[in-house]
Amino acid sequence: MVREEESFLQDVTEKIKKRIEKIDQTLLTGQKEIENMHDYYWENYTEMDQYGYEDYDNQQALLSQVNANQEAAKQKQRFLKMLDSPYFGRVDFVYSGETEKEPFYIGIGNFAEEAGSIPLIYDWRAPVAGLFYDYDKGEASYEAPAGVMTGEIISKWQYKIRNGRMIYAFESDTKIDDDILKEELGSSSDVQLKNIVRTIQKEQNAIIRNQRDKILVIQGAAGSGKTSVALHRAAYLLYHDRKNLKASDILILSPNSVFADYISHILPELGEENIQEMSFDLFAYRELRGITDDCEDRYHHLERMMKYPDAEQSRRFQKKQSSEFIGEMEGFLAILEDRLMDFREVSFRGIKKTEEELIRLFYFKFQDLPLLARMDAVREYVVDEYETLYGKELTEEEAEAVKAQFDRSYVTKDIYQIYSWFLEDNGYPPLPDISLGQRMTEYEDVYGLLYLKYRLLGRGKHRRIKHLIIDEMQDYSYLQYVILDMLFDCKMTILGDKAQTLDETVHDVCTFLPGIFGKKMRKITMNKSYRNTVQIASYAAQFSSDPDVELLERQGKEVEERQFQKEDDLLEAILEAVSAGEEMFETAAVLTRTEEEAEDIYHIWKSKGVQVSYIDRNSTSFRKGLTVTTFYMAKGLEFDQVFAVKDRKETPLDNQAAYISATRALHELYVFSLC
């Protein structure tokens, strides 16, 4: 059997090489065609027809050839990847009513000897691949375009192929053999997140292939593969809906740019283009330009909370993110008109509109429009009336002057000031009364201000985005989810772990999400953790409120807890442990509570010539080797070795920091503190 497998591998490899050679020839021919078109154009453009038809035809032909070459180049890259490891699984399947088994090889992408012929290797997202992920030996089925195909799985094989060489061929009754899974998960961490196509579990596969639910909420334990599953789901949806869904139609709201870099290779590895990424805080900052000069982000708030704990400030922050706060704002909006409006007569070019006429238009004809957008509609109506009646258009200068007249009917159009009115009316400290260029909005008010903007000016849905991925869902407030619902009317994948909250108390967002998204939402729980060893997971469990986490039984080194009198001794102990593990491990992280602590350690080591990287909120990349950062910047990342460092000072987030830090560790966890 082994000889047969090696023969098939060799045969497939040779055929892939031949396809690459054909593509190279196609690319060469295409490039010559492009060059010929360029030469023809420059030699003949003066003689082309005066109407531009020939020029247009030449440009279209050129564009078509360029696109064809780009597509061929993408195909070549995919086949080059397949040369390293063409497939990783095989299912021998006998269809109902037949006697001959049919082997299905499963790989990272489809491969057929010729375009349009039966594949030798099937893409992991193809319907038939579900046999590999979802079934043991015995009766099985998959849903094909022609309908449900039933039959029996005779045998299942798992392979590890590297550089075109068979490392092992393993027959197994189970979906993914535990030993293979442990080997994959137990290897040293990469600079980026691993794709999981070789080890997708049944429960993960069900989420990845879910096309039914509009909003899928994944509540998962640390290390359960939430982010990987979400990205593989995006790849699956792109594969199955190419007509309606492109990579540019998908947006991921990620915690920071480092995390975005950490996951950036997944989709290209799976044969897809990368998707858009941004943080919600950055989005809010951009949306509030012209209202405030600058905004704090979540990290400013966290640092202040840990350095200067203030129970009253924490209570006020939570209140401002709540449904109760939105209720207060809606009450304020209900009576705002009387305070905000001071109608003035308008006249231009012989046209006069009295206060009464403006009031009638404002409150009756355009009453359904947002308050600050309503007078613009009145103005456009009046101007259109004039231009239709007299057949004349206003000059740009006149239009600006007319707009200023209509705007006088507002006491103010400054949303910052209006929000400050609301705060003061409801017993909160008002915003500082300062000019736009001096405004720095604290984080507790950023999303309240954004909500008010949308209620006063309106906001259309982001129709271009057809699928939204929200990671670290536990760090979004009720108010933020309401705003997201205002912005997006598309399919969503929302994922997170309530135990990894950055709030002082653990809260489950799934308790209020149904009230926002309704019946179109489905919640799935992923309780099995694959990242940590038993020893690390057991240590982390004491800081978690979730007792139901299942573990992959992977044994490792006991967690090492030590106390130090001096910081120098603590730092030296870290370097000794990193040095001892450098032959086995690729990555190590020192995780502190605050940014100041992380920066201090980084500078000490840099001054001594230690090779170390530093990650803060402005960082954009994740590197191998030793890294210093805060626990909150490490969320979503994983490291071979983790050193959770605690200063003498207690903070309100010590418990969360301990849990998050511990669950970042793949193999070794050290908990070092100063006493």
Residue 609 labeled ligand binder: no
Q: Is 85 annotated as a binding residue?
A: no
Tokens of 237: 């949806």
Tell me the residue type at 71: E
> Is there a contact between 569 and 613 (Cβ–Cβ < 8 Å)?
no
Is 230 annotated to bind ligand? no
Residue 589 assigned to a binding site: no
| Angle formed at CA 301 by CA 614 and CA 252, multiple of 5 degrees | 70
The phi, psi pair for 607, rounded to 5°, reads: -65, -20
E strand or H helix at 674: strand 665-674
Cα(46)–Cα(503) distance, rounded to whole angstroms?
69
d(CA 32, CA 98): 51
CA distance 623 to 618: 15
Q: Is 364 helix (H, G, I), strand (E, B) or coil?
A: helix
Any bridge partners for residue 157, and if so which? 90, 171
Q: What is the DSSP letter of 546?
A: -
Please state, in angstroms and rounded to a whole number, the distance separating the CA atoms of residues 173 and 154: 10
For residue 343, give the nearest of 381, 379, 369 by alpha carbon.
379
Q: Name every residue whose Cβ is closer than 8 Å to that of residue 473 and which is 6 or more positions away in sequence.
A: 217, 494, 495, 496, 509
662's CB contacts (< 8 A; 6+ apart) are: 532, 536, 539, 540, 543, 559, 642, 644, 669, 671
Q: Which two tokens stand for residue 176?
A: 């993914």
CA distance 218 to 206: 12
**497: number of Cβ within 10 Å:** 26
164 is in an annotated binding site: no
On whether 606 is known to bind a ligand per the annotation, the reply is: no
226 annotated ligand binder: yes
Give one DSSP letter per residue of 91-137, joined into a string: EEEEETT--S-EEEEEESS-B-SSTTSPPSEEETTSGGGHHHHH--S
Any known ligand binding at 320? no
Amino acid (1-letter code) at residue 360: R
627's CB contacts (< 8 A; 6+ apart) are 587, 588, 589, 590, 612, 613, 614, 615, 639
Per the structure block, which two tokens stand in for 553? Answer: 């039984």
Task: Write the secondary structure of 237-306 as one string of H (helix), E (strand) and C (coil).
Answer: HHHHCCCCCCHHHEEEECCCHHHHHHHCCHHHHCCCCCCEEECHHHHHHHHCCCCCCEECCHHHHHHHHH
Q: Are strands 346-348 and 351-353 parallel, antiparallel or unpaired?
A: antiparallel
Indicate the annotated binding residues.
Answer: 220-227
Q: Show binding-site residues for ATP.
A: 220-227
